[in-house]
Amino acid sequence: MSELTLPTIGYGAANVGNLFRALTDDEAWEILQTAWDVGVRYFDTAPHYGLGLSERRLGAFLATKPRDQFVVSTKVGRLLEDNPEGADHLDTENDFAVPASLKRVWDFSADGIRASVEESLERTGLDRFDVLYLHDPERNNLREGLDVAIPALASFRDQGMTRAIGVGSMDTDALLASANTGALDLLMVAGRYTLAEQPALAGVVPACREHGVGIVNASVFNSGLLATDSPGADARYEYGGVPAGVLEKVQAIAAVCREFGVSLPAAALQYTLRDDTVASIVVGGSKPDQLRQNAARMAESIPVELWRTLTEKGLIPA
């Protein structure tokens, strides 16, 4: 298993792949430079993000930085193939404002994963990735992911082609089954272990403890719900609208945060760092100010009494 140590905070580079809105190359560069300036040294990307645009932009930026000063991860499982008929429209069905001149094709075979890594290396211009995650295996074929893709990734790690391997998913069943293979170093848990809700605590976190798997916690703002001090009915949750019960709970959490003079986003960022299975928090951002705010929130002091009060009120588990 890997002994890779991840920085406490990382930047999730979906936004520089034009997630939800188009960015110019200069705007994307400014975001990445701001991440670097506030101390981010872990960057996560994927072929899925903007049909390779995120990887290309991130790679061009990291080419200007010393290779031994950052950690970078990408994902496997989706190959990108030419899609000429899509060139005249945008990839909006996947929420990316990029021409759909490429298409995603699932491939969990050992050859497919090797091809994915080689193509990601070419897009980024990097010599290696520190971490490789199998991306969303439950959306294709979870059994093939467990039986074929994860062993292939383990072989790549054992050959020194990457320092650590993992699975990234929003699905707790897929995350649990992946942890229980005993082959992984990391799980990227997206939106399943947050201040608003903690379904990963039921099985995923104990399995990670049992098998020595670290958690990289992503989507800790639940797609925006926890990113403001006063969340309202128009907040984005899981890339859509927020259910009334979830909103009511989060507004109650926000009220407790105000009592202690703590910002809700700061509490959301720091909440799971109290768990020693959590190795890193990966956060996105489409504007430089968002990255500066998140760096400040990570440094904000949060009294133990806040967590105790949230627990006593039944707003977070003991």
| Burial of 260 per CB tally in 10 Å (0-12, 13-18, 19+) | middle
Active site residue 193: no
Rounded distance, CA 288 to CA 26, Å?
12
Q: Are 287 and 15 in contact, with CB atoms under 8 Å apart? A: no
* The one catalytic residue among 49, 193, 237, 271: 49
Tokens, residue 175: 């995350």
* Cβ neighbours, 10 Å, residue 143: 10
Q: 272 pairs with which residues across the strands?
A: none
Rounded distance, CA 69 to CA 88, Å?
40
**Beta-strand pair 78-82/102-106:** antiparallel
Q: Which residues are catalytic?
A: 49
